[in-house]
Amino acid sequence: MVKRHLNAAILIAIFAFSNLAGQVQAQEKALFFHGLQFEELEYRWGDEDEDLLAWNGDGFVGTDELKLRWLGEGEYDRNARLFENLENRIVLQKPISTFFDIKAGVRADTPDGQDRWYGVLGFAGLAPQWFEIDADLFVSETGDTSVRLDVEYELLLTNYLILTPSVEANVAFSADREIGVG
């Protein structure tokens, strides 16, 4: 009789531990996230027949360990039915520390004139004092290089009203007269 109870206790323990192990494995799986946000989404209508749509946004899909991100900005002239400027970036982003990620990918620009393709290498993260930093190095298909640095800070005016001043600097290390850079 004791042997029967011992066998039943062993079976219950095996079942309980196997169920617990399954729960631990489920928690260790990387969660899959996705999102879309726009910092700028506006319609511009002016006195000089200006009729523009402008946007600056990004979307992502992936896990905490690796994300595929789309970053895009542009202006669309509704009267002329064409893009005045359009920049799209597709990058893979991976964390390198608690507060910073490294990213690499491609950028496509379609300004007036010839389209431009760039390789992108950069980092983004949260610096001390809660400054959001985003820095990118661009190398074009012809070898032209440029750097972009974007710094933001969120000032909480109230719990619901947040002022976000930002500074963006673009530096070109070579000239491309066709698109007015350098």
Whether the pLDDT of residue 3 is over 70: the answer is no
Tokens 């029967």: give the residue.
4
CA distances from 159 to 122, 146, 154, 155, 163 (A): 32, 38, 12, 10, 11
Tokens 């070898």: give the residue.
143
For 29-48, write each residue's pLDDT tens digit: 778 999 999 989 999 887 77
Helix, strand or coil for residue 136? strand
Name the band, by pLDDT with cuts 50, 70 and 90, for residue 174: confident
Q: What is the mean pLDDT of residues 65-89?
A: 90
Tokens of 144: 């032209």
How high is the pLDDT of residue 81? 85
Radius of gyration of the chain (CA): 25
Task: Tell me the backbone φ, ψ of residue 90, rounded to 5 degrees.
Answer: -120, 120
Alpha helices (H) in the chain, listed in sequence order: 2-28
CA distance 179 to 74: 15
How high is the pLDDT of residue 112? 65
For 113-170, write each residue's pLDDT tens digit: 678 899 999 999 999 999 999 999 999 988 889 999 999 999 999 999 999 999 999 9
Tokens 């007036």: give the residue.
112
More confident of the two residues 119 and 20 = 119
How high is the pLDDT of residue 44? 87
Tokens of 95: 């964390």
Whether the pLDDT of residue 5 is over 50: the answer is no
For 81-100, write each residue's pLDDT tens digit: 888 889 999 999 999 999 99
How high is the pLDDT of residue 91? 96
Other Cβ atoms less than 10 A from the Cβ of 15: the count is 10
Query: Which amino acid, one-letter code, is at 125?
Result: G
CA distance 74 to 109: 10
Other Cβ atoms less than 10 A from the Cβ of 140: the count is 18
The answer to whether the beta carbons of residues 123 and 135 sit under 8 Å apart is yes
CA distance 163 to 151: 14
How high is the pLDDT of residue 2? 44
Whether the pLDDT of residue 18 is over 90: the answer is no
